[in-house]
């Protein structure tokens, strides 16, 4: 299953029927069991428009055996190679009546363990003792993200929109994209499907209009050593 040509040229690939119904139901069960007992946890964020679990793979590590089945390990090895590890993960639950929308953007920051003055590491932030920074584009260009769809996702419940091949243009301000001459794709994905994407791909999502829930597990990967003793704060090496 080689999608590397499409990922490199378009910035993303969609693979439907990736997880079985049984695997998805097991993930849902593990997530629901955890969320019922952790409403005060600082990594759990809840509003009427969005429920999110940050550091998902650390908060619910029991899910990893189901997420990283032989299928996913093979996809990562055949499309990216060996040595990749998790650098960040978030679980998103967009409820049926959600008005949450996200404007076009690139994923420009990484989560790190501390703040150090390093050349070309910019725009530092800290939230709940979690440092984030924008690294040089070369680091972002070599990373990738996998999004696991727990629900069927369509244009009516906030499927991602992407600008094809926009990842190849480096770090850009959105106003510097020539929308008249760009190709936009709405990434509709079946329950149990995955989307692989590059961090610099411009992506957005609309409000939900069809009263259907949208749950996604978002996992970011790298195999790069950060400089000057800086470390990925959520780094988890895959077995």
In this prediction, residue 37 carries a pLDDT of: 64
The verdict on residue 228 lying in a domain is yes
pLDDT grade for 179, boundaries at 50, 70 and 90: confident
Check whether 25 has a pLDDT greater than 60: yes
Number of folded domains that form the chain: 1
- Rounded distance between C-alpha atoms, residue 106 and residue 140, angstroms: 10
The verdict on residue 170 lying in a domain is yes
Q: How far apart are the first and last CA of the chain?
A: 21
CA 7 distance to own-chain centroid: 15
The verdict on residue 162 lying in a domain is yes
The verdict on residue 127 lying in a domain is no
- Rounded distance between C-alpha atoms, residue 22 and residue 81, angstroms: 28
The verdict on residue 132 lying in a domain is no
What's the half-sphere exposure (Cβ side, CA atoms, 13 Å) at 122?
A: 5
Containing domain of residue 90, as a range? 4-108+144-237
In this prediction, residue 26 carries a pLDDT of: 96
Cα dihedral 120, 11, 107, 224 sign: negative
CATH code, domain carrying 80: 2.60.120.620
Alpha helical stretches, state H, the chain: 4-10, 21-36, 56-59, 64-67, 70-79, 137-141
In this prediction, residue 220 carries a pLDDT of: 98
> pTM of the entire structure?
0.94
The verdict on residue 72 lying in a domain is yes
The verdict on residue 80 lying in a domain is yes
Of 231, 56, 226, the closest CA to residue 148 belongs to 56
Check whether 34 has a pLDDT greater than 90: no
What mean pLDDT comes out for the span 50-74?
A: 93
Integer angstrom CA distances of residue 135 from 93, 113, 123 = 28, 14, 9
The verdict on residue 139 lying in a domain is no
Q: Are 53 and 44 spatial neighbours (Cβ–Cβ below 8 Å)?
A: yes
Helix, strand, coil: what percent of the chain each, to 5?
25, 30, 45
Of 128, 100, 122, the closest CA to residue 110 belongs to 122
Residue 38, SS3 per DSSP: coil
In this prediction, residue 15 carries a pLDDT of: 98
**What count of other Cβ atoms lies within 10 Å of the Cβ of residue 69?**
13
What mean pLDDT comes out for the span 107-133?
A: 95
Mean pLDDT of the chain: 92
Q: Are 54 and 176 spatial neighbours (Cβ–Cβ below 8 Å)?
A: no
pLDDT grade for 97, boundaries at 50, 70 and 90: confident
């Amino acid at each position: 299953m080689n999608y590397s040509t499409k990922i490199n040229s378009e910035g993303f690939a969609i693979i439907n029927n990736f997880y079985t119904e049984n695997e998805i139901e097991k993930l849902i069960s593990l997530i629901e069991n955890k969320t019922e007992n952790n409403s005060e946890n600082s990594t759990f964020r809840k509003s009427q428009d969005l429920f999110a679990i940050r550091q998902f793979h650390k908060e619910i590590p029991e899910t990893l055996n189901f997420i990283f089945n032989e299928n996913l390990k093979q996809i990562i090895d055949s499309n990216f190679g060996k040595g990749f590890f998790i650098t960040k993960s978030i679980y998103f639950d967009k409820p049926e009546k959600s008005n949450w929308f996200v404007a076009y953007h690139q994923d420009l920051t990484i989560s790190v363990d501390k703040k150090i003055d390093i050349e070309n590491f910019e725009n530092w932030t800290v939230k709940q003792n979690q440092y984030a920074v924008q690294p040089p584009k070369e680091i972002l260009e070599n990373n990738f993200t996998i999004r696991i769809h727990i629900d069927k996702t369509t244009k009516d419940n906030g499927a991602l929109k992407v600008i094809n091949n926009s990842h190849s243009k480096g770090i850009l301000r959105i106003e510097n994209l020539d929308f008249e001459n760009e190709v936009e794709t709405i990434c509709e994905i079946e329950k149990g499907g995955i989307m692989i994407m590059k961090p610099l791909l411009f992506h957005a999502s609309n409000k939900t209009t069809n009263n259907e829930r949208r749950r996604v597990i978002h996992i970011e990967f790298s195999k790069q050593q950060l400089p000057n003793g800086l470390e990925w704060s959520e780094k988890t090496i895959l077995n």
